[in-house]
Amino acid sequence: MKTVTLYILTFLLITFENKLSADTLIVFSDVKKVITIGKALQILEDKNDKLTIDKVSASKDFQTNNQTTPNFGVTSSSFWLKFYVKNISESNTLLLELSHPLIDELTLYSIKPNDQYEIQKTGELYSYSQRIHKYQNYLLDLKIPKNTTALYILKIKSGKQIQLPLRLGTSESLYNSNITNELIFGIYFGIIIITVLYNLFIYFSVRDKSYLYYVVYAFSIGLTQACLRGYTSRYLWPNSSWMISHGIFIIVPIGGILSVLFANNFLQTKKHSPIVHNISYLIIAIYSTSIVLGILDKQILSSNIIDFSALLLTVYLLYTAIKISILGYRPAKFFLFAWSSFLICIIIYVMKHQGAFPNNNLTNYILELGSAIEVTLLSFALADRINILKKEKEESQAQTLLALKENEKIIINQNILLESKVKERTYELEASNKELKDTQTQLVSVEKMASLGQLTAGIAHEINNPINFVISNIKPLRRDVEEILQLLAKYGEISNDIDLKEKLKEIDTLKQTLDTDYVIDEINLLLKGIDEGAYRTSEIVRGLQSFSRLDESDLKRVNIHEGIDATLTLLNNSIKQGNIQIIKDYDITLPPIECYPGKLNQVFMNIINNATQALAAHSNKQTEEAKIIIKTKAEGNSVVIRIKDNGIGIPEKIKDKIFEPFFTTKEVGSGTGLGLSIVYGIIQSHKGNISVESEEGKGAEFIITLPIVHS
């Protein structure tokens, strides 16, 4: 069937070549010319995109086209274009150019007198690098021997607006024809780049965001025109078919969004017309929707939304500019004039496609001309805006200067009154500060006296035990000594040998009565007990001396382990009463550190004493043995002391407050809340750091970091 159809077409072509009208037969004769073939096309719409080339070839439903540039709008239909070309020129190879790059797929069928078609495919679904002819417009080869006529069928399908400015010529004639177009677009893009760089320079000079908005807006306009002309496919992403086919759905909406943002900033819509300003958010949302749909390959819907958004944007900008111009805002008049110029060019471009204007370089590049005029006028408008702002600033400065002079008079008159008030208030503050300092000193003294009283009570109890032990041993020791002395006296009564036997007998009787062996053992035991009591008392006194370090108020290099041990000695009574186990994990390599020994011992005293109180408060709920773990370690140029207990812990909500003066969780009258505040001050004076880690119900750990040497 296919072969028969081809033979019939070939026969009809040869037989009725001379009968084709001038409207349907394209005669190419001059290799130096380029001809437009729009009106010579026969068009068949394929609404369901199901027709094959065989059915199309045999179809009689082709309609004659009357438009120079066929325009089918945005549609899901495919279109088949049939045209005949008779070549009477000297060239056997012609080129068919489609200068509308926004076509998804073009398929050219060259009808041959055999059973095959010669097929060429191109379009946005193919990357630019795959094209035979490296040009932003689509170029298809037509190989037609001289004095012969060829039949071609072109299939067009796209999810964007379908416009078909088709031209026929040789490679040389098309190249010469497009030189002008390339030059025009080069001039246009040069204007855009110069405008962008110039205003970018002004932005960095004056730091006015309006210029930054304008720079981005102007660049987006240039990029949009480059995308519509196919230059982005040629220069920006030639190897990405996805960007070639989807770029228009990203670049154009972004350009629209930037137009809204620039207009809002330039016209100050939020200030001059808040209600109208809110409409801009709707336009931005619609444009954003079109981007998402385009990326998701809903191209027809996205194209329709872009067209609708463009219409809405045009109405919004015109209405806003007119309204704000009426309010007397001068920049709005510049904006209205610039946008109106661009809008007029858009109207001319649309009417050109409808045949109302001729198809020439002016009408072909009317959009570029309009956008160039717009960005230029807006650039002037921004420059004028600087003058307006400068004038407003000068007026504001003049008003400010006048106000300052008036204020100066008022200030001079008030200074005298204020000085007297300040002096009076200063006296009151000084008196108040003195009273506050006195109160604070008293409270610190109370805290120290409370600590001293608690420490004294513990020491008294500790000393009382060995002293009582000594006192209780003295009385029986005296008795035993007297008995020994009595025995010695009996020996002294021996005066001669005559009484010796009798006296020795009495002495033996006295020994048995006194039980001298027992007395001697008892004396030894009593002396040992007295010795232990005296040693224990001496140890407590040495601990107290080490703790107080009254003779070492300046910086000294000391072993902090001695200070910790002295503190534990003085707190031994509280530790024993609480049945607390002390676990020491000392770093034996810990070097002596420079410190104020007495003050540092006060830190150990306050923290360990707080730990014993926390363990006492937790004793009823505690299931494990009460413990205080003291760990030291050298880390670089510092030493770290960790004092940890398994008591009640510190609630998270108050952990940040425990070092504040006068903060306490004890009952009224049980403490001043200055203990840890004093600790914090001492650590700060040592150029150290103190922190706490705690979990309520599981204990607390104080971490002290001190430098080994004060710098």
pLDDT digits (tens, 9 = 90+) for 662-673: 666 665 445 555
Instruction: Indicate the residue among 169, 198, 231 that finishes a domain.
Output: 169
Q: How far apart are CA 616 and CA 489, in angstroms?
A: 59
Judged on CB neighbours under 10 Å (0-12, 13-18, 19+), 235 is: exposed
Whether pLDDT at 120 is above 90: yes
Mean pLDDT of 280-297: 92
Do residues 514 and 575 share a domain? no
How many domains does the chain fold into? Answer: 4
- pLDDT tens digits for range 402-450: 777 777 777 777 777 777 777 777 777 777 666 666 655 555 555 555 5
pLDDT at residue 21, rounded to an integer: 45
Least confident range from 212-221, 379-388, 541-550, 668-677: namely: 541-550
How far lies 540's CA from each of 62, 214, 609, in Å?
120, 85, 17
**DSSP symbol at 617:** H
Q: Around Cβ 462, how many Cβ atoms within 10 Å?
A: 22
Q: What is the span of the domain harbouring residue 238?
A: 181-384
Phi, psi dihedral angles at 163 (to 5 degrees): -120, 140
Tokens standing for residue 568: 């534990």
End-to-end CA distance of the chain: 104
Mean pLDDT estimate for the chain: 79
Structural domain contains residue 349: yes
Structural domain contains residue 393: no
Tokens standing for residue 405: 């002079």
Do residues 10 and 136 share a domain? yes
Burial 158-170 (b: 16+ CB within 10 A, else e): bbbbbbbbbbbbb
Least confident range from 460-469, 483-492, 522-531, 539-548: namely: 539-548
Are 640 and 632 a contacting pair, CB within 8 Å? yes
- Residues linked to residue 258 through DSSP beta bridges, in sequence order: none
pLDDT at residue 459, rounded to an integer: 61
**CATH number of the domain that residue 703 is part of:** 3.30.565.10
Q: How far apart are CA 579 and CA 559, in angstroms?
A: 28
Rounded to 5, what percent of the chain is helix, strand, coil?
60, 15, 25
Among candidate residues 267, 284, 371, 281, the one with its CA nearest the CA of residue 324: 267
Structural domain contains residue 400: no
Phi, psi dihedral angles at 165 (to 5 degrees): -80, 90
Mean pLDDT of 275-296: 91
Do residues 99 and 19 share a domain? yes
Reported confidence tier of residue 309, pLDDT bands at 50, 70, 90: confident
Q: Around Cβ 204, how many Cβ atoms within 10 Å?
A: 9
Do residues 538 and 632 share a domain? no
Among candidate residues 304, 302, 378, 365, the one with its CA nearest the CA of residue 338: 378
Q: How far apart are CA 561 and CA 588, in angstroms?
A: 9
**Which residue type is seen at 322?**
I
Reported confidence tier of residue 472, pLDDT bands at 50, 70, 90: low
How far lies 382's CA from each of 202, 208, 212, 612, in Å?
10, 10, 11, 76
pLDDT at residue 642, rounded to an integer: 94
**Which residue type is seen at 688?**
G
Tokens standing for residue 211: 């210029």
Tokens standing for residue 26: 């394209």
Q: Give the highest mean pLDDT range of 113-122, 486-495, 657-666.
A: 113-122
Reported confidence tier of residue 562, pLDDT bands at 50, 70, 90: confident
Do residues 130 and 36 share a domain? yes
Collapse the DSSP code of 201 into the 3-class scheme (helix H, G, I; strand E, B; otherwise coil) and give the result. helix
DSSP E strands, 371-458: none
Reported confidence tier of residue 102, pLDDT bands at 50, 70, 90: confident
What is the side-by-side strand order in the sheet with 627-635?
Answer: 581-585, 627-635, 638-645, 700-707, 689-694
Whether pLDDT at 10 is above 60: no
**DSSP symbol at 52:** -
Comparison of pLDDT for 42 and 363, the residue scoring more: 42
Structural domain contains residue 31: yes
Do residues 483 and 576 share a domain? no
Whether pLDDT at 37 is above 60: yes
Do residues 369 and 252 share a domain? yes
Structural domain contains residue 571: yes
Reported confidence tier of residue 378, pLDDT bands at 50, 70, 90: confident
Among candidate residues 219, 229, 221, 227, the one with its CA nearest the CA of residue 181: 229
Do residues 243 and 119 share a domain? no
Whether pLDDT at 16 is above 70: no
**Cα 261 from chain centroid?**
24
Structural domain contains residue 175: no
Whether pLDDT at 7 is above 50: no
Q: Around Cβ 393, how many Cβ atoms within 10 Å?
A: 10
The dihedral over CA atoms of 422, 427, 430, 432, expressed in degrees to the nearest 10, equals -100
Do residues 691 and 635 share a domain? yes
Judged on CB neighbours under 10 Å (0-12, 13-18, 19+), 317 is: buried
Mean pLDDT of 302-330: 86
Do residues 515 and 589 share a domain? no
35-36 vs 93-98, strand pairing mode: unpaired
Which long-range contacts (C-beta less than 8 Å, at least 24 apart) are formed by 342-347? 342/370, 342/371, 342/373, 342/374, 343/314, 343/318, 343/370, 344/370, 345/369, 345/370, 345/371, 345/373, 346/370
Least confident range from 242-251, 447-456, 534-543, 580-589: namely: 447-456
Mean pLDDT of 36-65: 90
Among candidate residues 364, 371, 356, 300, the one with its CA nearest the CA of residue 165: 364
Tokens standing for residue 690: 């103190």
pLDDT at residue 551, rounded to an integer: 43
Are 615 and 578 a contacting pair, CB within 8 Å? yes
Do residues 373 and 454 share a domain? no
Whether pLDDT at 108 is above 90: yes
Structural domain contains residue 65: yes
pLDDT at residue 354, rounded to an integer: 56
Reported confidence tier of residue 22, pLDDT bands at 50, 70, 90: very low
Instruction: Indicate the residue among 146, 169, 192 that finishes a domain.
Output: 169
pLDDT at residue 523, rounded to an integer: 74
Structural domain contains residue 632: yes
Do residues 526 and 574 share a domain? no
- Residues linked to residue 704 through DSSP beta bridges, in sequence order: 641, 690
Instruction: Indicate the residue among 499, 520, 547 that finishes a domain.
Output: 547
**CATH number of the domain that residue 69 is part of:** 2.60.40.2380
pLDDT at residue 656, rounded to an integer: 76
How far lies 660's CA from each of 146, 672, 675, 683, in Å?
103, 11, 10, 14
Q: How far apart are CA 647 and CA 568, in angstroms?
A: 18
How far lies 584's CA from each of 165, 568, 631, in Å?
94, 11, 6
Look at the chain and count its residues: 711
